[in-house]
């Protein structure tokens, strides 16, 4: 795929978006908050996982992270200075319900109250995401998302948060990347809770879909005007070659992963090709699959990072590999940089599902950030990445996609899950020795873009 032309001039880029477009920053609880054992917070599966030897790079964990729990005021101030119109954060379930059910932790709730009040005072619209993977360990001990009781528990948690924050928060998200949670956590084992059992992963996915629907009801019963979405990770799938095998593998990969969630969210039940592939691979053993309820999304959140090139190793289901294509530009994650994949993905979603609205809920890149001058990180590679992807988003709008907002991942460098602190995605640099925050050149660039969009 050839690269698209792009303009790194943020003022010019801003003009390609409607005036009421929302520009924001994104982060998640376990990746930034720290204060893992403070004020009554219970342990989450990510505490357990990151404290298990060998599970994360350097044995890194989120005990302290960016210490955002104590520094949220400064972080909100910094974000506001950069012109943020919105901030997408997640709520740590074990901070507000240490066991995931029953007792409520008022001090945990107070933290989110203070955070949303601070955001409102600074003129930054909060988007509250209920689940960014940090399940209370006490619920995992009962089977976690593989246990159908989770549907009711999640709805209770959603209801609690709606009653406590619903006067201020209009924009909600139920799940972040439910496919990553289900499959990386329960089939691949590289994320918490670290299981490697496909039928469990399929049950987890099924209960996430049901929990989403239950949470929508729970939130709307308290906050009828709430706008509720979900963030799915949509990468650009490309077959490695034009061979029938690779083309089929790429289609099968999508059907077992992306459309496995998208089809049910849009009321279509599970995709036939996905069912056929999962069944043939033995992933549905012991499972009676029935279609989950319609997701009733007010908007679809899209997290986009990369192209995934699918190589079939044989005709057997799941016998494929996702490896970077040679010659394609890569980020430090070894993710293929293909901005046009974002345009194509958004157009595909529009054609296929016609979501009421779409928001890019994550987009960004990790780079080593080694060029520092005058105290500033000169992350020109990140600026180029953002400029091209934001340009690609503008192309999608020009093609008729109802795209309403863009959230950069991430506000600041943070705990990148099993890769620890080694991979920096922030537009704000964090010195993990002394917690000093320094906006990178990309933050200044984004600030100019937002400022220009207001004119």
State in angstroms the smallest separation of the CB of 5 from ligand FCB.
26
Q: Give the Cα-Cα-Cα angle 353, 356, 362 (nearest 5 degrees).
A: 85
* Binding status of residue 425 toward ligand FCB by CB under 6 A: yes
Residue (222 or 332) nearer to ligand FCB, CB: 332
Is 433 a known active-site residue? no
* Binding status of residue 65 toward ligand FCB by CB under 6 A: no
- The side-by-side arrangement of strands in the sheet containing 307-312 is 236-239, 307-312, 320-322
Candidate list 208, 336, 362, 416, residue with the active-site label: 362
State in angstroms the smallest separation of the CB of 176 from ligand FCB.
5
List the one residue from 28, 259, 418, 442 that touches ligand FCB (CB under 6 A). 28
Residue (194 or 267) nearer to ligand FCB, CB: 194
> Which residue shows structure tokens 């990148």?
416
Candidate list 99, 125, 177, 208, residue with the active-site label: 177
Contacting residues for 170 by C-beta, under 8 A, at least 6 apart: 125, 223, 225, 226, 227
State in angstroms the smallest separation of the CB of 229 from ligand FCB.
14
Residue (72 or 175) nearer to ligand FCB, CB: 175
Q: Under rule CB under 6 A, which residues in 333-352 are in contact with ligand FCB?
A: none
Q: Under rule CB under 6 A, which residues in 154-183 are in contact with ligand FCB?
A: 176-177, 180
Residue (17 or 415) nearer to ligand FCB, CB: 415
Is 321 a known active-site residue? no
* Segment interacting with ligand FCB, rule: CB under 6 A, options 187-195, 207-215, 348-356, 409-417: 409-417
State in angstroms the smallest separation of the CB of 153 from ligand FCB.
22
Residue (17 or 175) nearer to ligand FCB, CB: 175
List the one residue from 409, 421, 445, 446 that touches ligand FCB (CB under 6 A). 409
Contacting residues for 60 by C-beta, under 8 A, at least 6 apart: 50, 415, 420, 421, 422
Residue (204 or 397) nearer to ligand FCB, CB: 204
Interatomic CA distance for residues 194 and 171, integer angstroms: 31
Residue (385 or 417) nearer to ligand FCB, CB: 417
Total residues at the site for ligand FCB (CB under 6 A)? 12
State in angstroms the smallest separation of the CB of 362 from ligand FCB.
6
List the one residue from 60, 75, 125, 416 that touches ligand FCB (CB under 6 A). 416
List the one residue from 145, 157, 417, 421 that touches ligand FCB (CB under 6 A). 417
* Binding status of residue 25 toward ligand FCB by CB under 6 A: no
State in angstroms the smallest separation of the CB of 284 from ligand FCB.
26
Interatomic CA distance for residues 405 and 358, integer angstroms: 8
State in angstroms the smallest separation of the CB of 347 from ligand FCB.
22
State in angstroms the smallest separation of the CB of 279 from ligand FCB.
27
List the one residue from 67, 233, 263, 379 that touches ligand FCB (CB under 6 A). 233
Judged by the rule CB under 6 A, the positions of this chain that interact with ligand FCB are: 28, 31, 176-177, 180, 233, 303, 362, 409, 416-417, 425
Which residues belong to the active site?
177, 362
């Amino acid at each position: 795929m050839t690269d698209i032309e792009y303009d790194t001039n943020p003022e010019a880029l801003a003009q390609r978006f409607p005036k009421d477009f929302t520009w924001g920053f994104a982060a998640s609880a376990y990746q930034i908050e720290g204060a893992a054992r403070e004020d009554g917070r219970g342990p989450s599966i990510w505490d357990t996982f990151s404290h298990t030897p060998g599970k994360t790079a350097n044995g890194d964990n989120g005990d302290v992270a960016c210490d955002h729990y104590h520094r949220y005021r400064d972080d909100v101030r910094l974000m506001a200075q950069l012109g943020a119109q919105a901030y997408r954060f997640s709520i740590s379930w074990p901070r507000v319900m240490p066991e995931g059910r029953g007792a409520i932790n008022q001090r945990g709730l107070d933290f989110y109250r203070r955070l949303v009040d601070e955001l409102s005072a600074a003129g930054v619209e909060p988007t509250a995401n209920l689940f960014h993977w940090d399940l209370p360990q006490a619920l995992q001990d009962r089977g976690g998302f593989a246990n159908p009781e989770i549907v009711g528990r999640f709805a209770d948690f959603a209801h609690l948060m709606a009653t406590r924050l619903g006067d201020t928060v209009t924009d909600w998200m139920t799940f972040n990347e439910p496919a990553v949670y289900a499959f990386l956590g329960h089939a691949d084992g590289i994320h918490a809770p670290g299981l490697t059992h496909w039928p469990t992963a399929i049950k987890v996915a099924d209960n996430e879909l049901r929990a989403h629907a239950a949470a929508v009801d729970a939130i709307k019963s308290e906050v009828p005007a709430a706008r509720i979405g979900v963030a799915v990770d949509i990468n650009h799938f490309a077959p490695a070659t034009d061979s029938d095998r690779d083309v089929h593998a790429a289609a099968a990969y999508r059907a077992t992963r992306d459309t496995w969630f998208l089809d049910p969210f849009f009321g279509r039940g599970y995709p036939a090709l996905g069912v056929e592939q999962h069944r043939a691979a033995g992933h549905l053993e012991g499972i009676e699959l029935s279609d989950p309820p319609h997701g009733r999304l007010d908007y679809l959140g899209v997290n986009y990072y990369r192209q995934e090139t699918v190589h079939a190793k044989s005709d057997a289901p799941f016998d494929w590999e996702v490896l970077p294509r040679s010659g394609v530009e890569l980020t430090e994650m070894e993710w293929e940089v293909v901005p046009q994949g974002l345009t194509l993905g958004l157009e595909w979603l529009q054609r296929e599902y016609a979501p009421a609205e779409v928001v890019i809920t994550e987009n960004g890149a990790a780079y080593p950030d080694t060029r520092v001058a005058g105290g500033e990180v000169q992350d020109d590679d990140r600026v180029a990445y953002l400029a091209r992807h934001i340009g690609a988003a503008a192309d999608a709008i020009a093609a008729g996609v109802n795209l309403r907002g863009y959230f950069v991942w991430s506000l600041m460098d943070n705990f990148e899950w099993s890769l620890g602190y080694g991979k920096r995605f922030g537009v704000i640099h964090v010195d993990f020795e002394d917690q000093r925050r320094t906006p990178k050149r990309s933050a200044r660039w984004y600030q100019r873009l937002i400022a220009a969009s207001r004119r």
